[in-house]
Amino acid sequence: MTLAPNVYDAEPIPEAARAEIERLLTSGDLFRYTSADDSPVALLEREFADMIGAKYALAVASCSAALFLSLKALGLPRGARVLIPAFTFAAVPSSIVHADCVPVLVEVGDNYRIDIADFEAKLDGADAVMISHMRGHTSDMDAIMALAEERGLPVIEDAAHSLGTEWHGKKIGTIGKIGCFSFQSYKLLNAGEGGILITDDPDIIARAVIMSGAYEHNWKKHKGPHGENSPALQEAFARWQNQLPLYNTRLGNMSAAMVRPQLAEVPRRVRDGRQNHDYVAGQLNASPWLTVPKKLAPEDRAPDSIQFNLVGMTDAEAKAFQDAAARRGVKVQIFGLSTDNARAFWNWQFLGDLPELPRTRAMLMRACDARLPARLTREDCDFVVEALVGAAEDIKSPELAYGT
């Protein structure tokens, strides 16, 4: 009998990181601003910007820090209203609270994407938009950008989990004014912790760089597109010198040294992750009790997990499904049924008054989440399929169930 695949372990850090890490251990050169230029963090920023096709990148301590700095870099006043999808990770509304702004939650449909009618209805009175591509599911960016641009609202993309995803062939994270990515271990690039912010706007990057902790003249170590000196950037830095608080949320050289050799792995991880996902999705959709929502037409996804909805099950049956899947070796989380889940908006009690969002709530009560890393083999994927389809049969049609 095949063993349950380990879906939690990350891939090993590429061997190429070893020499650089050894050099950093020997020299103690861990702070990005110690070396004259070209620190590992600066090189990572340049390589990431070139890979994604952005003019500027700033590596920071986390994607949450990148989201917070994005709001500060846009110069949003205290109390500014920022639209976010109600299906996201608690760190996203938290970054808005941190920036003294107010999150406005928008309904999300059972395809995990923003409900555009509710988005449009909530735009009046909004000051900015932060789109979380939650679990790598892209909302309708054509509609969102058109509606936001009509009103002159800046769009921040939370692409923490969307590295490698494309929309009409354009990389996610480059559609809005600012894009933010994560290097936390469950994301496509793994530094343990870390994040990066990208933009084409010299004023925004200058403000974000200074506030991330480029005190005094350390900003001189930040260059323009392709590592060249850029007069527009120099002017922006001069304009903001001594005008902004320093939040000191930088990335260290050791983290950058671990991420840099992984950049070359991105296309393989994207390809294999998508292949695994689409294979498993096809098999799950054959079950009458499981459904994987279709991606939107302009979207090419880069998944490392799978989300699917339970069909025709009560709360009790949904919980029993979760238990049956666990007995069969696959851990599934139903966002709304697991206690204190950080992706269920009613647990964001730090926001105070929480709105009622019936569509999002209904989705969360039946939406399942299972990890499906790119490194899984076809045999591993078959194990996951059998466990999930079998668990649904255990509950809905025990006479059909596969043996355990």
Applying CB under 6 A, does 93 fall inside the site for ligand PLP?
A: no
Close Cβ partners of 11 (under 8 Å, ≥ 6 residues apart): 190, 265, 269, 373, 374, 375
CA distance 373 to 371: 6
Stretch that binds ligand PLP, among 17-25, 59-67, 165-173, 364-372 (CB under 6 A): 59-67
Place of tokens 């120099």: 234
Binders in 168-197 for ligand PLP, by CB under 6 A: 182, 184, 195
Stretch that binds ligand PLP, among 33-41, 156-164, 213-221, 350-358 (CB under 6 A): 156-164
Q: Which of 39, 64, 70, 230 binds ligand PLP (CB under 6 A)?
A: 64
Q: Closest distance between ligand PLP and the C-beta of residue 393, in Å?
A: 31
Q: Which of 32, 46, 161, 171 binds ligand PLP (CB under 6 A)?
A: 161
Q: Closest distance between ligand PLP and the C-beta of residue 64, in Å?
A: 3
Sign of torsion over alpha carbons 213, 216, 218, 222: positive
Q: Which of 39, 70, 88, 322 binds ligand PLP (CB under 6 A)?
A: 88
Q: Which residues pair with 250 in a beta bridge?
A: 60
- Cβ atoms 47, 39 nearer than 8 A: no
Cβ proximity to ligand PLP: between 158 and 393 the closer is 158
Applying CB under 6 A, does 91 fall inside the site for ligand PLP?
A: yes
Close Cβ partners of 74 (under 8 Å, ≥ 6 residues apart): 128, 154, 156, 177, 178, 204
User: Site mask, ligand PLP, residues 320-339, x = CB under 6 A?
Assistant: --------------------
Both tokens of residue 141?
A: 């960016």
Q: Which residues pair with 307 in a beta bridge?
A: 369
Cβ proximity to ligand PLP: between 160 and 381 the closer is 160
Report phi then psi at 60, rounded to 5: -135, -175
Applying CB under 6 A, does 157 fall inside the site for ligand PLP?
A: no
Q: Closest distance between ligand PLP and the C-beta of residue 49, in Å?
A: 18
Cβ proximity to ligand PLP: between 177 and 223 the closer is 177
Q: Which residues pair with 114 in a beta bridge?
A: 108
Cβ proximity to ligand PLP: between 234 and 347 the closer is 347
Stretch that binds ligand PLP, among 10-18, 86-94, 279-287, 325-333 (CB under 6 A): 86-94
Q: Which of 92, 270, 284, 374 binds ligand PLP (CB under 6 A)?
A: 92
Among residues 157, 257, 169, which one has the least CA distance to residue 200?
157
For ligand PLP (CB under 6 A), the number of binding residues is: 15
Cβ proximity to ligand PLP: between 86 and 387 the closer is 86
Report phi then psi at 88, rounded to 5: -160, -175
Quick count: other Cβ atoms within 10 Å of Cβ 211? Answer: 21
Close Cβ partners of 377 (under 8 Å, ≥ 6 residues apart): 5
Cβ proximity to ligand PLP: between 117 and 342 the closer is 342
Place of tokens 């279709």: 294
Sign of torsion over alpha carbons 396, 398, 403, 404: positive
Positions that interact with ligand PLP (CB under 6 A): 62-64, 88-89, 91-92, 132, 134, 158, 160-161, 182, 184, 195
